[in-house]
Amino acid sequence: MPARPRRRIGLFGGSFDPVHQGHRALADAAMSALGLDELRWVVAGQPWQKSGRVLAPAADRVAMVEAALADAPGQRVERIEVDRSGPSYTIETVRALQAAEPTDVDWWLLIGQDQHANFTTWRDWRELLARVALAVAARDGVEPVPSPELAGVPHRWQVVPMPPHPASATVIRRRLAGAESAQLLAPAWLAPGVADLIERRGLYHPVPAQPVDRPASPDAGPVNDRVSASSGVPQQRP
Protein backbone atom coordinates (compact mmCIF):
# COMPACT_ATOMS: atom_id res chain seq x y z
CA MET A 1 0.00 0.00 0.00
CA PRO A 2 1.46 3.39 -0.94
CA ALA A 3 2.55 5.51 2.01
CA ARG A 4 0.19 8.32 2.90
CA PRO A 5 1.79 11.67 2.03
CA ARG A 6 2.88 13.62 5.09
CA ARG A 7 0.68 16.56 5.97
CA ARG A 8 2.27 19.95 5.56
CA ILE A 9 1.39 22.64 8.07
CA GLY A 10 2.66 26.19 7.84
CA LEU A 11 2.96 28.65 10.71
CA PHE A 12 2.99 32.36 10.02
CA GLY A 13 3.69 34.46 13.08
CA GLY A 14 3.44 38.18 13.43
CA SER A 15 2.03 41.04 15.40
CA PHE A 16 -0.27 41.82 12.45
CA ASP A 17 -0.73 45.36 13.73
CA PRO A 18 -2.50 45.63 11.37
CA VAL A 19 -2.57 42.67 9.01
CA HIS A 20 -2.02 43.86 5.45
CA GLN A 21 -1.95 42.62 1.88
CA GLY A 22 1.81 41.99 2.00
CA HIS A 23 1.11 39.37 4.66
CA ARG A 24 -1.60 37.82 2.48
CA ALA A 25 0.69 37.84 -0.56
CA LEU A 26 3.35 35.96 1.38
CA ALA A 27 0.84 33.50 2.83
CA ASP A 28 -0.83 32.78 -0.51
CA ALA A 29 2.52 32.35 -2.26
CA ALA A 30 3.68 29.94 0.44
CA MET A 31 0.46 27.93 0.32
CA SER A 32 1.02 27.12 -3.32
CA ALA A 33 4.84 27.00 -3.45
CA LEU A 34 5.07 24.64 -0.47
CA GLY A 35 1.86 22.71 -1.15
CA LEU A 36 0.63 23.37 2.37
CA ASP A 37 -2.46 21.54 3.63
CA GLU A 38 -3.06 24.30 6.13
CA LEU A 39 -1.58 27.59 7.22
CA ARG A 40 -2.04 28.91 10.74
CA TRP A 41 -1.56 32.60 11.36
CA VAL A 42 -0.07 32.88 14.84
CA VAL A 43 -1.11 36.27 16.17
CA ALA A 44 1.49 37.36 18.71
CA GLY A 45 0.28 38.20 22.18
CA GLN A 46 3.26 40.07 23.48
CA PRO A 47 6.14 39.97 21.02
CA TRP A 48 9.36 40.15 23.02
CA GLN A 49 11.11 42.18 20.36
CA LYS A 50 8.53 44.92 20.22
CA SER A 51 9.25 46.65 23.50
CA GLY A 52 8.59 50.34 23.53
CA ARG A 53 5.57 50.49 21.25
CA VAL A 54 1.93 49.95 22.14
CA LEU A 55 0.22 47.32 20.05
CA ALA A 56 -3.48 47.33 19.26
CA PRO A 57 -5.40 44.98 21.58
CA ALA A 58 -5.01 41.32 20.72
CA ALA A 59 -8.78 40.97 20.22
CA ASP A 60 -8.66 43.60 17.48
CA ARG A 61 -5.61 42.09 15.79
CA VAL A 62 -7.24 38.65 15.83
CA ALA A 63 -10.46 40.09 14.37
CA MET A 64 -8.50 41.82 11.61
CA VAL A 65 -6.68 38.61 10.66
CA GLU A 66 -9.99 36.74 10.61
CA ALA A 67 -11.39 39.40 8.29
CA ALA A 68 -8.30 39.18 6.06
CA LEU A 69 -8.72 35.40 5.78
CA ALA A 70 -12.43 35.38 4.95
CA ASP A 71 -11.61 34.29 1.38
CA ALA A 72 -8.56 32.13 2.12
CA PRO A 73 -9.37 28.42 2.25
CA GLY A 74 -6.92 26.41 4.35
CA GLN A 75 -5.76 29.47 6.28
CA ARG A 76 -6.90 30.36 9.78
CA VAL A 77 -6.00 32.20 12.96
CA GLU A 78 -4.04 30.35 15.64
CA ARG A 79 -4.81 31.88 19.04
CA ILE A 80 -2.25 30.06 21.17
CA GLU A 81 -0.10 33.12 21.84
CA VAL A 82 -2.89 35.57 22.62
CA ASP A 83 -4.47 33.05 24.97
CA ARG A 84 -1.41 32.75 27.14
CA SER A 85 0.23 35.42 29.25
CA GLY A 86 3.81 36.56 29.05
CA PRO A 87 6.08 37.16 26.10
CA SER A 88 5.57 35.25 22.86
CA TYR A 89 8.42 32.94 22.01
CA THR A 90 8.05 31.00 18.80
CA ILE A 91 9.90 27.99 20.17
CA GLU A 92 7.31 27.55 22.93
CA THR A 93 4.49 27.87 20.42
CA VAL A 94 6.05 25.33 18.09
CA ARG A 95 6.68 22.84 20.90
CA ALA A 96 3.05 23.09 22.02
CA LEU A 97 1.54 22.85 18.53
CA GLN A 98 3.73 19.92 17.54
CA ALA A 99 2.87 18.05 20.72
CA ALA A 100 -0.80 18.28 19.73
CA GLU A 101 -0.33 16.77 16.25
CA PRO A 102 0.78 13.39 14.92
CA THR A 103 4.48 13.04 14.23
CA ASP A 104 4.11 12.54 10.47
CA VAL A 105 3.71 16.25 9.74
CA ASP A 106 6.12 18.54 7.88
CA TRP A 107 6.19 21.91 9.62
CA TRP A 108 7.09 25.13 7.86
CA LEU A 109 7.70 28.50 9.44
CA LEU A 110 6.99 31.49 7.20
CA ILE A 111 9.09 34.60 7.73
CA GLY A 112 10.11 37.69 5.83
CA GLN A 113 13.71 38.53 4.98
CA ASP A 114 13.92 41.00 7.89
CA GLN A 115 13.08 38.28 10.41
CA HIS A 116 15.38 35.81 8.67
CA ALA A 117 18.31 38.22 8.99
CA ASN A 118 17.81 38.23 12.78
CA PHE A 119 16.96 34.59 13.18
CA THR A 120 19.92 33.72 15.37
CA THR A 121 18.68 36.18 18.01
CA TRP A 122 15.54 34.09 18.50
CA ARG A 123 15.23 32.03 21.64
CA ASP A 124 16.45 28.43 21.15
CA TRP A 125 16.81 29.01 17.42
CA ARG A 126 18.84 25.84 16.90
CA GLU A 127 16.06 23.72 18.36
CA LEU A 128 13.58 25.64 16.22
CA LEU A 129 15.56 24.76 13.09
CA ALA A 130 15.41 21.10 14.06
CA ARG A 131 11.63 21.31 14.39
CA VAL A 132 10.59 23.38 11.36
CA ALA A 133 11.78 24.22 7.86
CA LEU A 134 12.01 27.90 7.03
CA ALA A 135 10.09 29.48 4.16
CA VAL A 136 11.49 32.95 3.60
CA ALA A 137 10.21 35.80 1.45
CA ALA A 138 12.24 38.67 0.06
CA ARG A 139 11.24 42.02 1.50
CA ASP A 140 11.81 45.55 0.23
CA GLY A 141 13.75 44.08 -2.68
CA VAL A 142 16.22 42.32 -0.39
CA GLU A 143 16.68 38.62 -1.11
CA PRO A 144 17.07 36.36 1.92
CA VAL A 145 20.58 35.16 2.63
CA PRO A 146 21.39 33.16 5.77
CA SER A 147 23.81 34.89 8.13
CA PRO A 148 27.13 33.05 8.57
CA GLU A 149 25.99 31.82 11.99
CA LEU A 150 22.73 30.49 10.58
CA ALA A 151 24.46 28.94 7.58
CA GLY A 152 26.74 27.06 9.96
CA VAL A 153 23.83 24.98 11.24
CA PRO A 154 22.41 22.46 8.78
CA HIS A 155 18.71 23.11 8.25
CA ARG A 156 15.98 23.05 5.65
CA TRP A 157 14.92 26.32 4.12
CA GLN A 158 13.67 27.72 0.86
CA VAL A 159 12.78 31.05 -0.63
CA VAL A 160 9.08 31.70 -1.23
CA PRO A 161 8.85 33.14 -4.72
CA MET A 162 6.47 36.10 -4.73
CA PRO A 163 6.19 39.44 -6.46
CA PRO A 164 7.42 42.11 -4.04
CA HIS A 165 4.64 43.71 -2.03
CA PRO A 166 5.35 47.16 -0.59
CA ALA A 167 2.83 47.10 2.29
CA SER A 168 4.20 47.79 5.76
CA ALA A 169 2.30 47.85 9.04
CA THR A 170 4.53 50.66 10.28
CA VAL A 171 3.65 52.84 7.30
CA ILE A 172 -0.05 51.99 7.63
CA ARG A 173 -0.09 52.98 11.30
CA ARG A 174 1.71 56.22 10.48
CA ARG A 175 -0.76 57.12 7.75
CA LEU A 176 -3.78 56.32 9.91
CA ALA A 177 -2.31 58.31 12.79
CA GLY A 178 -2.20 61.22 10.34
CA ALA A 179 -6.00 60.91 10.15
CA GLU A 180 -6.00 59.24 6.74
CA SER A 181 -9.01 56.98 6.13
CA ALA A 182 -8.30 53.25 6.12
CA GLN A 183 -10.57 53.03 3.08
CA LEU A 184 -7.89 54.83 1.05
CA LEU A 185 -5.51 51.96 1.73
CA ALA A 186 -7.99 49.33 0.51
CA PRO A 187 -7.75 47.13 -1.39
CA ALA A 188 -4.07 47.56 -2.34
CA TRP A 189 -2.65 47.52 1.20
CA LEU A 190 -5.62 46.55 3.37
CA ALA A 191 -8.34 43.98 2.67
CA PRO A 192 -11.68 45.82 2.54
CA GLY A 193 -12.95 43.90 5.59
CA VAL A 194 -9.86 44.94 7.55
CA ALA A 195 -10.28 48.58 6.53
CA ASP A 196 -13.91 48.43 7.71
CA LEU A 197 -12.86 47.03 11.08
CA ILE A 198 -10.20 49.70 11.53
CA GLU A 199 -12.75 52.42 10.84
CA ARG A 200 -15.50 50.94 13.01
CA ARG A 201 -13.20 50.31 15.95
CA GLY A 202 -11.28 53.54 15.55
CA LEU A 203 -7.94 51.76 15.49
CA TYR A 204 -4.70 53.64 14.91
CA HIS A 205 -6.45 56.97 14.53
CA PRO A 206 -5.43 59.88 16.74
CA VAL A 207 -8.86 60.04 18.40
CA PRO A 208 -10.29 56.54 18.65
CA ALA A 209 -13.95 56.18 17.74
CA GLN A 210 -16.33 54.58 20.22
CA PRO A 211 -16.05 50.82 19.80
CA VAL A 212 -19.40 49.57 18.57
CA ASP A 213 -18.96 45.88 18.06
CA ARG A 214 -16.42 44.81 20.63
CA PRO A 215 -17.75 42.14 22.98
CA ALA A 216 -18.49 43.24 26.54
CA SER A 217 -15.95 40.82 27.95
CA PRO A 218 -12.49 40.47 26.49
CA ASP A 219 -12.21 37.52 24.15
CA ALA A 220 -8.50 37.45 23.78
CA GLY A 221 -7.56 35.97 27.09
CA PRO A 222 -4.89 37.38 29.33
CA VAL A 223 -3.16 39.43 26.66
CA ASN A 224 -6.16 41.44 25.62
CA ASP A 225 -4.84 44.74 26.80
CA ARG A 226 -2.41 46.92 25.00
CA VAL A 227 0.99 45.39 25.18
CA SER A 228 4.45 46.74 24.77
CA ALA A 229 6.13 46.45 21.46
CA SER A 230 9.37 47.66 19.99
CA SER A 231 10.35 49.25 16.76
CA GLY A 232 9.44 46.23 14.77
CA VAL A 233 12.95 44.95 14.72
CA PRO A 234 12.46 41.26 15.14
CA GLN A 235 14.36 39.94 18.06
CA GLN A 236 11.89 38.08 20.03
CA ARG A 237 8.72 37.25 18.20
CA PRO A 238 10.70 34.30 17.70
Residue 92 main-chain phi, psi, to 5 deg: -65, -40
Alpha-carbon distance of 89 to 174, in angstroms, equals: 27
160 interacts with ligand ATP by CB under 6 A: no
Rounded to a whole number of angstroms, the minimum distance from the CB of residue 114 to ligand ATP is 5
Task: Print the binding letters for residues 103-132 with ligand ATP: x by CB under 6 A, - otherwise.
Answer: --------xx-xx-----------------
Q: Provide, rounded to whole angstroms, the least separation between the CB of residue 42 and ligand ATP.
A: 10
Does residue 167 belong to the site contacting ligand ATP (CB under 6 A)?
yes
Rounded Cα distance, 81 and 14, in Å: 10
CB of 154 to ligand ATP, least distance (A): 22
Element containing residue 134 per DSSP (H, E) = strand 133-137
Residue 31 sits in the site that holds ligand ATP (CB under 6 A) = no
Residue 140's H or E segment, with its range, is none
Instruction: Work out whether 56 is an interface residue with ligand ATP (CB under 6 A).
Output: no
33-41, 91-99, 167-175, 209-217 -> range binding ligand ATP (CB under 6 A): 167-175
Residue 16 as a binder of ligand ATP (CB under 6 A): the answer is yes
What backbone phi and psi angles, to 5 degrees, belong to 221?
70, -155
Q: Report helix, strand or coil for 183.
A: helix
Check binding of 40 to ligand ATP (CB under 6 A). no
Q: 229 by DSSP, 3-state: which?
A: strand
- Contact 192/67 with Cβ under 8 angstroms? no
In the complex, the residues that contact ligand ATP under the rule CB under 6 A are: 14-17, 22-23, 26, 111-112, 114-115, 137, 139, 165, 167-170, 232
